[in-house]
Amino acid sequence: MKLNKLAEEIAQFNEENDLNIDPKSRLLDLYSEMGEVAKEILKGSDYGKEDLSLSNDFNDEIGDCLYSLISLANETDVNLEESLHKVKQKYTARKNKTGDIGSGA
């Protein structure tokens, strides 16, 4: 995977542009960006009344979320590739055990 290279690029960008912030603030930023994604989904479906039609703004908001998530991982020393590998193992084990990857009751 190339996630760690992407994380390095974001870390360098943040450093060069003085964009590093504490993880609590970064998490709030991520939630804010996720709200923007939700808003685009609502707008693109007329609040669920129509089939989903996404604007270019949706792509931008997904990018903002990805940037914020990668920055949060960097600021908390999370290795993205290891983290994703572990979650895939967890989902595979859960599916093998229960037939479903969901964590519901």
Would you place residue 103 in the very low, low, confident or very high pLDDT band (cuts 50, 70, 90)? confident
pTM above 0.85, yes or no: yes
Once rounded to an integer, what is the mean pLDDT over residues 88-101?
Answer: 92
* pLDDT for residue 1: 59
**Each residue of 8-25: pLDDT tens digit?**
999 999 999 999 999 999
* pLDDT for residue 56: 92
**Each residue of 42-82: pLDDT tens digit?**
999 999 999 999 999 999 999 999 999 999 999 999 999 99
**CATH (residue range 3-98):** 1.10.287.1080
Where exactly are the structural domains of the chain? 3-98
Q: Quote the CA–CA distance of 48 and 41 in Å, as a whole number.
A: 8
Residue with tokens 């994604």: 37
